[in-house]
A and B are shown apart, each in its own frame.
Chain A
Amino acid sequence: MQILIADDDPVLRHALRVHLERWGYEVVESPDGASAWHALRTTPPPPLAIMDWNMPGVDGPALCQEVRETPGLSGMYVILLTSNSSKKDIITGLESGADDYIVKPFDWDELRARVRIGSRIVGLQQVLGARVEQLQQALSSVRKLSGLLPICAYCKRIRDDQDYWRQIEHFVSEHSDVRFSHGVCPACIEDYINKELPSARVAGGT
């Protein structure tokens, strides 16, 4: 999984890169808000970002807001990593759209655990997204077959929207993916075929 690090401190960026790569992540670095925004607009964008609050150009909370308002980025998991530690800052940061908030100086094991939570949520979202797409595809392949159908009480034909009486199997086939294989049930063999067979033989001369 790719992670964007946006921080203007080159020392911390290097430390983050080394640790994240050790933990199995691929890292993209940005030293300021503008280049971070550029990195986020790549295709596909990194699904997880660790952002500083104070950066030249666009700051962390402003970036978070942009992420949440941008189609295609709104599912990104964002961790704000900042020395701004007041309750007001934390609330502002989370309300800007950050998923998590870590105060510097931080413990590396804690960061690892929080990044792992983020990557798990990203993974779940990706699975969920794929499932929704599958369901949408399935739904689009199922044609509409619901509502009140006028059906003949005797021959069981169905009246369609154009006022034609259609055989039930034709109607159902046109409104769903159902296909029919024709056969004769035992009751109909008794009621129709066995009764009609003698006269058919006579007519056929057998």
Chain B
Amino acid sequence: MSETRSAVAEDIVTPWTPERMLMRLGGDEALAKQLAALFIEECPLMFGRVRESVQQSDADVVRRAAHAFKGSVANFVDGGAAATALELETMGRDKNLADAPKVFARLEREIAALLVDLRRFAEGA
């Protein structure tokens, strides 16, 4: 996942905004930055599990990995990457992974874009 929006996902607009997140946390900017930093740290592991599950093409593993990842992403956005992770989870539940690689590729771009935004926010830029 790239560091800059323009390099990886210039067509992606994340639904995440600092204002919305702060509103959800009662204006607690310090906590919002802690959560963003924690997600940036944990994301490679959780996202890696989703990647592996899609590569294995095991519907149940895809469902569980996508569900866990969706939960963590949903701390920041309702739609966007969270909605895409839900698509993957649903594909796993329905045991229909035909479009899973395509949806995963979209999720990867959305997460890259979200991480760029979160890094910028967590670092106080």
List chain A positions with a Cβ less than 8 A from chain B. Answer: 8-12, 14-15, 18, 52, 54, 83, 104-105, 108
A-B contacts, 6 of them at CB < 8 A, read A8-B71, A10-B42, A11-B35, A11-B39, A15-B75, A54-B68
Check B34 against A104 for contact (C-beta < 8 Å): no
Check A83 against B71 for contact (C-beta < 8 Å): yes
Check A9 against B71 for contact (C-beta < 8 Å): yes
Check A14 against B68 for contact (C-beta < 8 Å): no
Q: Which residues of B contact A105 (CB under 8 A)?
A: 24, 74-75, 78
CA of A52 to CA of B39, assembled, Å = 18
Binary CB contact string for chain B from 1 to 27 against chain A (1 if under 8 A, 0 otherwise): 000000000000000000000001110
Contact of A83 among B24, B31, B74 (CB under 8 A): B74
Q: Which residues of B contact A83 (CB under 8 A)?
A: 67, 70-71, 74
CA of A138 to CA of B60, assembled, Å = 57
Q: Which residues of A contact B78 (CB under 8 A)?
A: 105
Q: Which residues of A contact B39 (CB under 8 A)?
A: 11
Q: Which residues of A contact B25 (CB under 8 A)?
A: 15, 108
Q: Size of chain B's interface in residues, with CB distance under 8 A?
A: 18
Considering only CB atoms, which chain B residue lies closest to A109 in the complex? B26
Check A11 against B31 for contact (C-beta < 8 Å): no
Chain B 42-81 residues near chain A, CB threshold 8 A: 42, 64, 67-68, 70-72, 74-75, 78
Check B24 against A104 for contact (C-beta < 8 Å): no
Q: For the complex, is B105 an interface residue (Cβ under 8 Å from A)?
A: no
- Closest chain A CB from B24 CB (angstroms): 7
Given that A15-B31, A18-B31, A54-B64 are known contacts, is A104 also in contact with B71, CB under 8 Å in the complex?
Answer: yes
Q: Which 10 A-B pairs have the closest CB atoms?
A: A9-B72, A11-B75, A9-B71, A11-B38, A11-B39, A10-B42, A11-B72, A11-B35, A54-B67, A18-B31
Contact of A12 among B26, B34, B64, B72 (CB under 8 A): B72
CA of A14 to CA of B67, assembled, Å = 19
Contact of A9 among B24, B26, B64, B75 (CB under 8 A): B75
Q: Which residues of B contact A8 (CB under 8 A)?
A: 68, 71
Considering only CB atoms, which chain A residue lies closest to B40 in the complex? A11
